Structure 1
């Protein structure tokens, strides 16, 4: 279970998130919704350790931790970025296998075997030798998910996973997220798409701009 208490974040003395608390149970899907400028992406970046918070405490299964200070080990929280952030000079398979070898120090065969299994499950096994520029938006999204999962996170976060996708691909992402839920993976999804949020969420967190 992920529990966040009294999270506060400022930029240049401007309050973005004010004393926010919430809990996400194991295997649950939380969607974070709200208008533009409400701080949804900032909140996700704080949760995933990409931004340092000004105040607040994170707990995982009752034990306090700081996602901003997690380096050089298996990630507690992974993130799938809105623009995917794939390495353009690496193949799909290389994108998925690079971090587990460099960061987790796993052997190449284990990493490759697990990557191939993930790619097959995400219907990308025939794309493993392609480069990102050769992929559709939906395929890039799935590669980004496979890469995040390769770090074996306990919680997987998504920043606007359907923003650049057409309705058919939007449905694919919905099905992937629901499929990962069946595997017991806790997921946090930032989205402006209320219909999508309603389709995947076990609970929704509504954020509003701080006045």
Structure 2
């Protein structure tokens, strides 16, 4: 169970998240929806440690954790960013294996074997020596998912995973998310796409632009 308790985040005098509470059972999918500027991405950034809330706490299986602590954050929360953030000067394989080797201290053989297995699962076998510019947008997104999974996170978050995809690729991303659910991966999706949210999520949390407290 992932729990967010009384999370408050401000930018200057503006309160973005006001004592927000969430519970996400292990292996379930939560979609966070709401208008632009309501705090969806801010909530994701707080959960992933990219922003520090003014107050509140995060718990996983009743154990507190600090998303901003680099010692363990990468293995708790993984993030697939909207613009993928792949390193353009590294191959697909290098993009995926860099963090496991540096952060998890995996040897090259283990990191490579894990990467190739994940690439195969996401229909990217044979792409490992290509560079990001040689991939389609949908392929880059799947590489970003593989890169996040290679860190063995307990929770995987997505920022607007369907924003630039055509209907076929949108369906493919939905399949990937639902397949990860079968493996008991807890997932959080920030999206403007309410239809996609309803098709994939176990619960939908709406962030309200007026009070930034949200509701189900």
Aligned residue runs from structure 1 range 23-102, under 5 A: 23-71=23-71, 74-102=74-102
Residue 140 (1) aligns with residue 140 (2): yes
Say which SS state the counterpart of residue 57 (structure 1) adopts. Answer: strand
Q: CA deviation at 1:68?
A: 1.2
Contact 1:30 1:187 in 2 (8 A): yes
Contact 1:16 1:210 in 2 (8 A): no
Say which SS state the counterpart of residue 38 (structure 1) adopts. Answer: coil
Contact 2:7 2:57 in 1 (8 A): yes
Under a length normalisation based on structure 1, what TM-score does the superposition of the two structures give?
Answer: 0.98
Aligned counterpart, 1:119: 119
Unaligned runs of 5+ residues in structure 1 are none
**RMSD between aligned residues:** 1.1
C-alpha offsets along residues 172-197 of structure 1, whole Å, 9 cap, x if unaligned?
00000000000110000000000000
Under a length normalisation based on structure 2, what TM-score does the superposition of the two structures give?
Answer: 0.95
Unaligned runs of 5+ residues in structure 2 are 212-216
User: For residues 73 and 194 of structure 1, what CA distance do their matches in structure 2 show?
Assistant: 29
Q: CA deviation at 1:203?
A: 0.4
Say which SS state the counterpart of residue 130 (structure 1) adopts. Answer: coil
Cα distance change, pair 203–124 in 1 and its aligned pair in 2 (3 A): same
Contact 2:156 2:186 in 1 (8 A): yes
Contact 1:72 1:104 in 2 (8 A): no
User: For residues 73 and 190 of structure 2, what CA distance do their matches in structure 1 show?
Assistant: 25
Contact 1:3 1:24 in 2 (8 A): yes
C-alpha offsets along residues 25-64 of structure 1, whole Å, 9 cap, x if unaligned?
0000000000111110000000111100101011110011
Q: How many residues align?
A: 211
Say which SS state the counterpart of residue 36 (structure 1) adopts. Answer: coil
Q: CA deviation at 1:148?
A: 0.3
Contact 1:73 1:104 in 2 (8 A): no
Contact 2:162 2:170 in 1 (8 A): yes
User: For residues 53 and 81 of structure 2, what CA distance do their matches in structure 1 show?
Assistant: 19
Q: CA deviation at 1:96?
A: 0.5
Say which SS state the counterpart of residue 126 (structure 1) adopts. Answer: coil
C-alpha offsets along residues 117-146 of structure 1, whole Å, 9 cap, x if unaligned?
000000101211110001001000000000
